[in-house]
Amino acid sequence: MDRKIIVLKFGGFAVSTGENIKRICAIVKKEREKHKVVVTVSALYGVTDKLVEISEKISNLPAIAVEDAAKNFYDEILALHCKTAKECITDEKILKEVIEKITALLEKLRITLIGVGYLEEINPKFMDYVVSFGEKMSVYVISGALKDANIKAVPLTGYEAGIITDSNFSHAKPLPIINETIRKNLMPLIEENNVPVVAGFISADIKGTATTLGRGGSDYTAALLAKHLDAVEVQIIKDVEGVLSADPKIVPNAKLLKELSYAEAMDLALFGAKVMYSKMIEPAMDAKIPVRVKSIFKPDDEGTVIVKNEEIIDRIVKAVTMMKDITVVNIKGVGMAETPGIIGKIFSELGNKGINIVMVSGSSESNLSIVVKKSDVGRTLEIINQASNSGVRKVEVMENVRIIAVIGAGMAGSRGVAAKIFKIVADNDASIIMIAQGSSEVNISFVVEEKFSEDIVKAIHREFVEK
């Protein structure tokens, strides 16, 4: 029988030590008995953060310190990759080749960093180029390890795998042409029994300039590949067992969720569950491909599977999640009622700048609240101020707040859930600062003061999930 394609994405702590990379090899080997396998990987654990850090640091250094800083970074990252490669590759020839490739990449990175240092500036375009090295290097380590395990692996950048994007650096969107390019670039390799090892997260625009899909975006790469290759499933394999009913750091007895719908998973990811990248759900949902989240340490466990319709709604509320590092921006002004276009203008400008509006609610025509990430507040205020001559009178910023989202498709058909939730909020002496308007039927989300948030999450979990 013709074997179907499966996409396996490895990220987080799964792409760290040689020991874990050997686990990746074992999983791929086993999966190959049943499927044609396509692999996507993140950068080695922690490397993307380091790349972001050095870019920022080096652009602020005095010129005299730049070359040393670039060289020190080169040494550190080379040592990390060599150590990891040696732990998972025994064949001398394969190891030598991997180290050569990585050394050549790092030499390019070193020169780039010197440029950033002397220019004293890092813009999103440069940043994308710099961070792209993380995945460019990791695909060599992983494919080297796979070759060492006698699996025909072929390392590829996102662009080489057919992922071409627009030029919105740091949050690029794939172009419609990937409909053709992914198949065209990967099918011949797959047909010949190779395992493509595709760099997650990184891609390039039509001119070949490096772009990225946004932090955490390698899940998105996996879903795009799965969609365009007609895969039977896409698996997100990391160091967690699956999707949990709450953050175990807040709720120690959070439960593993066996099954979720796409809508539930998307809301969970949007509102703070770090387990997957929200945008990845879209391509999977489009193509009706199940997404499975599971642990590198328990590869035979089922993990969590995300499908079109959840089969059993055993509980009305499945999960409660919390989003930190957000800010409420209240936009007030009588003039706004007369100028409906102004809101559209603000929203589209925020969109153009890659600022994601996490939540919106309008209490009246002349009053609108939005929630954005803390890191986006400065730019958000700039955009609103630019629009202020068209009628915004006052802008208020509220910090130290968090969004709590209660998620479960079963809520749509059952009465009194909201009342219960809001009673819990009141019992905790908190007041609701904002409630999402027009949110999907699978979640109820609201903003409260930070100091109350964890207790409320615990109480909601107790009431709806533990009972």
Contacting Mg ion within 5-64 (CB under 5 A): 42-43, 48
Site string for ligand ASP, 335-374 (x = CB under 6 A): ----------------------------------------
Q: What is the dihedral of CA 256, 35, 203, 179, to 10 degrees?
A: -110
Classify strands 35-41 and 195-199 as parallel, antiparallel or unpaired: parallel
Q: Contacting ligand ASP (CB under 6 A), which of 85, 132, 134, 263?
A: 134
Nearest alpha carbon to residue 405 among 324, 327, 292: 324
Contacting ligand ASP within 139-178 (CB under 6 A): none
Nearest alpha carbon to residue 173 among 384, 354, 435, 420: 354
Cβ-count burial of 207 within 10 angstroms (0-12 exposed, 13-18 middle, 19+ buried)? Answer: exposed
Q: Which does 216 bind (CB under 5 to 8 A by kind): ligand ASP, Mg ion, none?
A: ligand ASP
* 11 is an interface residue for ligand ASP by CB under 6 A: yes
Whichever of 116 and 131 has its CB closer to Mg ion, that residue is 131
- Residue 393 carries which DSSP code? -
C-beta neighbour count of 65 within 10 angstroms? 13
Distance set, CA 217 to CA 271, 296, 300, 416 (Å): 16, 19, 25, 37
Whichever of 15 and 342 has its CB closer to ligand ASP, that residue is 15
Q: Which does 217 bind (CB under 5 to 8 A by kind): Mg ion, ligand ASP, none?
A: ligand ASP
Please report the DSSP string for 440-451 in residue order: -TTEEEEEEEHH
Q: Give the helix ranges, DSSP H, for 120-207.
A: 124-148, 178-191
Whichever of 137 and 371 has its CB closer to ligand ASP, that residue is 137
Q: Contacting ligand ASP (CB under 6 A), which of 20, 40, 42, 181?
A: 42
Q: Contacting ligand ASP (CB under 6 A), which of 218, 366, 369, 380?
A: 218
Whichever of 16 and 367 has its CB closer to ligand ASP, that residue is 16
Nearest alpha carbon to residue 8 among 126, 116, 146: 146
Nearest alpha carbon to residue 55 among 164, 138, 170: 170
Site string for ligand ASP, 171-210 (x = CB under 6 A): -----------------------------xx---------
Output the six-digit token pair for 158. Answer: 């996102």
Whichever of 48 and 143 has its CB closer to Mg ion, that residue is 48
Whichever of 49 and 427 has its CB closer to Mg ion, that residue is 49
* 138 is an interface residue for Mg ion by CB under 5 A: no
Contacting ligand ASP within 45-64 (CB under 6 A): 48
Nearest alpha carbon to residue 166 among 198, 128, 197, 218: 128
Nearest approach in angstroms of CB 133 to ligand ASP is 11
* 215 is an interface residue for ligand ASP by CB under 6 A: yes
User: By the 8 A CB rule, do 295 and 244 touch?
Assistant: no
Binding piece for ligand ASP, criterion CB under 6 A, among 61-69, 147-155, 211-219, 453-461: 211-219
Nearest alpha carbon to residue 303 among 316, 294, 312: 294
Nearest approach in angstroms of CB 200 to ligand ASP is 5
Q: Which does 380 bind (CB under 5 to 8 A by kind): Mg ion, ligand ASP, none?
A: none
Q: Contacting ligand ASP (CB under 6 A), which of 158, 216, 272, 391?
A: 216
Residue 403's DSSP bridge partners are 323, 447
Mark residue 352 as left, alpha or beta (left: phi above 0; alpha: psi -120 to 50; beta: remaining).
Answer: alpha
Cβ-count burial of 245 within 10 angstroms (0-12 exposed, 13-18 middle, 19+ buried)? Answer: buried
Nearest approach in angstroms of CB 13 to ligand ASP is 11
Binding piece for ligand ASP, criterion CB under 6 A, among 29-37, 41-49, 382-390, 451-459: 41-49
Binding residues (CB under 5 A) for Mg ion: these are 42-43, 48
Binding residues (CB under 6 A) for ligand ASP: these are 11, 42-43, 48, 134, 200-201, 215-218
